[in-house]
Amino acid sequence: MKYREELTKAMRYLASLDNTIFMGQSVRYSGHAIFGTLEDAEVPMDKRIELPVIEDAQMGMSIGLSLMGYIPISIYPRMDFLIIAMNQLVNHLDKMNEMSCGEFNPKVIIRTAIGSKIPLDGGIQHTGDYTDGLKKLLNNVDVIKLEKPEAILNAYKWALKNDNSTILVEVSDLYDRS
């Protein structure tokens, strides 16, 4: 079983649910490896919201869609880009349940990747791994690093059942490995 194939299975599973929606950069048009898994999974175009480079607004939109009953799969093709969304992630998504005394508990599945270094190194601003830092920073958003193909589908299923929002961190250099 290959890493990319397992990601595709997970996206196919998520797409089969009525209340999921996929949003981010290059979800309708090719631009990074994550797009390929959406295509291979045949995620319907009416479940994809293409966004420009507006990471903070994307996270805010994801929170809003969650509060309307959707489960957004909010895609940040590089973990470095997720840093731009820290205001919404740390000050809103992570704290909203506490701030609202339990009235609101948005559920967002955040899909991101550590940028590839092979066959070409994307450089220091595209290959950062901030998994440990996010785990320390977030109290109510779970962070899972996907290092083994056999764990991928179950991690996404767990994220759906989990009461909290979840960040699933892919390792781009593993995409073509078993």
In the prediction, which pLDDT does 15 show?
A: 98
Q: Which residues of 65-98 are buried (b: 16+ CB within 10 A; e: fewer)?
A: bbeeebbbbbbbbbbbbbbbbeebbbeebbebbe
- 81: tokens are 């880009």
Q: In this structure, are residues 165 and 105 in contact, taking their beta carbons and an 8 Å threshold? A: no
177 alpha-carbon distance from chain centroid? 21
- Structural domain for 10, as ranges: 3-174
149-171 pLDDT, tens digit per residue, is: 999 999 999 999 999 999 999 99
In the prediction, which pLDDT does 149 show?
A: 96
Burial of 50 (0-12, 13-18, 19+ CB in 10 A): middle
In the prediction, which pLDDT does 32 show?
A: 85
Structural domain tally of the chain?
Answer: 1
In the prediction, which pLDDT does 66 show?
A: 98
24-35 pLDDT, tens digit per residue, is: 999 999 988 899
- Confidence check: pLDDT of 1 > 80: no
Which CATH number does the domain housing residue 37 bear? 3.40.50.970
Burial of 5 (0-12, 13-18, 19+ CB in 10 A): middle
